[in-house]
Amino acid sequence: MHPFVHLFGRDIPMYWLCGVVGLALAAGLALLRRRGGRCSVSADDLIHTMLLCVIGALAGAKIFQVIGLVALYASQPGFWTAENWLAIGSSGGVFYGGLIGAFAAAVLYMRKYKGNSAGRLTLRWMHTRSLNG
């Protein structure tokens, strides 16, 4: 990971940028909790879904990274050694794997515990957006 992001001619430290993203996610959760009552979704369900999305994102990012590395380097000598797999285990993940993992975790949670809540939530959100302009 790069220690700085170059944005508009300035070098912004990555930890600062990650802090801003974390605050944005916290503000989004607060907004969802506030507006969730209008869609008959409890605050507990929103928090459970968000926590499962974080777990699904971490797992999905790592799984997709390992799949990509196996597809790319499986024929290389020394790829299947324990040292290499320990290095892979301590490395990061891929973005699209995290996105797919988070979405899959949310869908699985909604289907297992809430039936078709995702569809109802989406339709009600669209309905309130159309009424509020």
Share of the chain above pLDDT 90, in %: 4
> For the segment 97-126, what is each residue's pLDDT rounded down to a tens digit?
888 998 888 888 877 776 555 555 555 555
Question: What pLDDT shows up at residue 20?
Answer: 80
Taking the C-alpha atoms of residue 66 and residue 72, their distance in angstroms, rounded to an integer, is 10
Taking the C-alpha atoms of residue 65 and residue 82, their distance in angstroms, rounded to an integer, is 17
Residue 85 is encoded by which pair of tokens? 């797999």
> For the segment 42-91, what is each residue's pLDDT rounded down to a tens digit?
777 777 888 888 899 889 989 998 888 888 887 888 777 878 777 777 77
Residue 68 is encoded by which pair of tokens? 């990509």
**Look-up: residue for tokens 């939530």?**
121
Residue 60 is encoded by which pair of tokens? 């999905």
Question: What pLDDT shows up at residue 59?
Answer: 92
Predicted structure pTM score: 0.64
Taking the C-alpha atoms of residue 88 and residue 65, their distance in angstroms, rounded to an integer, is 9
Amino acid at the residue 57: A
